[in-house]
Chain A
């Protein structure tokens, strides 16, 4: 199983809503990532979890709150988002984070988020 799954596929939310994005992998990977991608732009790293601990937060606003309940799951809790937060949110995983030689990151299909 070399798949990273993400739910939901699409999400529409108002600026006062609270919602969560979910990501799951069963490849035994110990590193998981959240990226944000705007149209026609490359993905931008938001968070890195390594061995279930937050290792990198790329100065992401606090209205995005990541959570790693266990080694297979990664959540992104959303609260009081702005319309400019509308984007494709990608989850990825890799065997390790930052191993010498580079680790292939396996990406999920993404959640298309629209904030009204």
Chain B
């Protein structure tokens, strides 16, 4: 069964500090991994997408890493800001072939709170 587990479940850090969120998955056959940011009551916003051959991708202060061998990904946030307070969701895509149906498995998210 395809699963995506995220840790920690919630995290509180001081403004300006760095933090790292973890994502472990058992999704097969792996196609790509995405990180989304979701503010409360809003739709998710894409941060990064990584395929099998990519092991790091940055989007401003967000840097995602992917280790396809250990099936782990991390999202590192540098110099956190109050606006970073949100849920961060790891989503892993599985697909049988280049033209097959894509199946997304969502993690349960990490709730990040930045305090001044």
Q: Distance in Å from the Cβ of A16 to the closest Cβ of chain B?
A: 27
Q: Which residue of A lies closest to B45 (CB)?
A: A107
The answer to whether B22 has its CB under 8 Å from any CB of chain A is no
* Contact status A41-B43, CB under 8 Å: no
Size bracket, chain A contacts: 20 to 34
Count of CB-CB pairs between chains A and B under 8 Å? 55
What A residues does B41 contact at CB under 8 A?
88, 109-110, 112
* Contact status A108-B43, CB under 8 Å: yes
The secondary structure that dominates the B interface is strand
The answer to whether A116 has its CB under 8 Å from any CB of chain B is no
* Contact status A42-B108, CB under 8 Å: yes
A81-116 near B? 1/0 per residue, CB < 8 Å? 000000010111000011011101111111010000
Size bracket, chain B contacts: 20 to 34
- Please tell me which one of the listed residues B43, B44, B51, B109 contacts residue A101 in the complex, with CB atoms under 8 A apart: B51
* Contact status B43-A110, CB under 8 Å: yes
The distance in angstroms between the C-alpha atoms of A63 and B23, with both chains bound, is 35
* Contact status B100-A98, CB under 8 Å: yes
What B residues does A107 contact at CB under 8 A?
43-45
The distance in angstroms between the C-alpha atoms of A97 and B103, with both chains bound, is 10
* Contact status B51-A90, CB under 8 Å: no
* Contact status A106-B95, CB under 8 Å: no
Q: Which chain B residues in 41-86 approach chain A with CB under 8 Å?
A: 41-46, 49, 51
The answer to whether B26 has its CB under 8 Å from any CB of chain A is no
- Report B's interface with A, CB cutoff 8 A: 31-32, 34, 41-46, 49, 51, 89, 93, 95, 98-102, 104, 106-109, 111
